[in-house]
Amino acid sequence: MGVVEASVRGFLGITALSYTLSSVAWGWSLFGPRGSVLKTAKVLAVTGLLSHTACLTVTGSALGRFPIFGGTLTMHFFVWALMVAFLLVDWRARLPTLGAFYVPVIACAAIALLEVPAPIVRDGAGTTLNVPPTIVVHVSFVFFGYAFFVLAFLAGVLFLYQSRALKNKRLGPWFQALPSVDDLDRLNVQAIGFGFPLHTIGIAIGLRYAVVTTNYAWMTDPIVLMTFALWLLYSVILSLRYLGKHRGRKIANCTVFGFGVLLICLVVARSQQHGRRAFSSTIQSVESSD
């Protein structure tokens, strides 16, 4: 096992462990005393993020490219983006119970991704893939946009639960532990407010690259169409919120629906990995030649 592989493995282990312990602490803070437990949960989450960042940095420097394409690296980057998005929103919204629902999902993803990314094992250090920097920026922005949409989805689901509990007068322990419906509604819109501009910038960069640089027939690419549909949906949600003055349940339902579209986008993107897109085929050809 090379030094790079060993260090990547080590960082992945620290990441998964930190996120798992952080999940336990968040869960504990939900029903037990908060304060120091919450602080510990946050410290562990930041530790996990730093370790994951180190893992991606080592991987990137070993491969000589931005660690976003190839094998499980895409998922690694997405999980990393999810945690960055969460810590940003947590810092802004200051809703102590949010992490109890979100961090366990990230912890599970981190455990599932414990295997060293395939390009490290297969290609070893020094292999370069011909991915244009514009595409790297495009995908990074889109992924960050998605990460915030995932957070908006979580806020939407929690809002629907709380609102239902209040309407039905069923105020169980979960109801007591969760934030107020107004907080969740605000968080929902805040997360979309963060994610939408990032998603828009990502789409704009990708579109410009597709139109100007390549002869790629983007208008017939399902993933491009799905991404546009997603963008349209979130722009409708924001319009409804700020122009149509809709809030609460309607916005939460739209966000949940938006997450469904997002999942379809990811599935389409996965199925199109071996498809016609210029940069994908470039990666594919380089990876398969090793």
By the criterion CB under 8 A, which residues form the site for another protein? 33, 162, 166-167, 169, 171, 173, 175-176, 180-183, 185-186, 245-250
**Buried b / exposed e across 13-34, counting CB within 10 Å, b at 16+?**
ebbbbbbbbbbbbbbbbbeeee
Residue 167 vs 290, nearer CB to another protein:
167
Residue 253 vs 282, nearer CB to another protein:
253
Residue 126 vs 172, nearer CB to another protein:
172
Shortest distance, position 191 Cβ to another protein, whole Å: 16
Q: For 233-237, which contacts have Cβ atoms below 8 Å and span 24 or more sequence positions?
A: 233/257, 233/258, 233/261, 234/149, 234/192, 234/195, 234/196, 234/199, 234/258, 235/196, 237/192
Are 186 and 159 within 8 A, CB to CB?
no
Q: Residue 155 and residue 246: Cα distance in Å, rounded?
A: 16
Shortest distance, position 188 Cβ to another protein, whole Å: 13
Shortest distance, position 179 Cβ to another protein, whole Å: 8
Shortest distance, position 92 Cβ to another protein, whole Å: 13
Residue 7 vs 253, nearer CB to another protein:
253
Residue 9 vs 246, nearer CB to another protein:
246
Shortest distance, position 162 Cβ to another protein, whole Å: 7
Shortest distance, position 247 Cβ to another protein, whole Å: 5
Neighbours of 234 (CB within 10 A): 24
* CA pseudo-torsion sign 121, 124, 128, 133: positive
Distance, CA of 191 to chain centre: 12
Residue 1 vs 243, nearer CB to another protein:
243
